[in-house]
Amino acid sequence: MFISYHRASSALLATLIANFCASQGIRAFVDTLSINEAGQLSSLIEQNIQLSDVFVGLVNARTLTESVWVKQEIGLAVKLNKPMIPVYHQGYRPTATGDAVMDRLIVNSAGLRIDDLDNEFVNEALIRLVTMIRNSVDE
């Protein structure tokens, strides 16, 4: 599984998801180190998207307005026809953006919400995410 996220607003959640999935026997790649100043995805990111069975994208309002990297990662996952699972958080509600790449993840993929504003229990949401990942791999 590849976890795509906006570092400034989703790093903690990305790490939480990766650690929980690892405890359930699901290998997760989370890029915590590489920053490519050239404006293109690093070969490490590309390789891990290619090798992943499932693409999980963490989505909030800042992801859409501030992260060029997430959009590039989504674009590669779309090109590779990866199963995609959006995880909406920080009060974000999925709505079409008018951007075909972003909308492929946000509105055209089944996802889930991890949001304490809705009294969503994080552990329950993580268990549902693991089920969704396993179901995507089995298809």
Count of CB atoms situated within 10 Å of the CB of 123: 8
Domain that holds residue 119: 2-138
Domain count, the chain: 1
pLDDT value at 32 more than 50? yes
Four-residue CA torsion sign, 20, 22, 23, 24? positive
Q: What is the pTM of this model?
A: 0.86
133: domain CATH number? 3.40.50.10140
pLDDT in tens, 45-85: 899 999 999 999 999 988 888 888 888 999 999 999 999 99
pLDDT in tens, 88-138: 988 888 888 888 888 888 877 778 888 655 555 788 888 999 999 999 987
Name the amino acid, one letter, at 66: E
Beta sheet of 112-114, edge-to-edge order: 29-30, 2-4, 55-59, 84-89, 112-114
Q: Which phi and psi (to 5°) does residue 98 adopt?
A: 90, -5
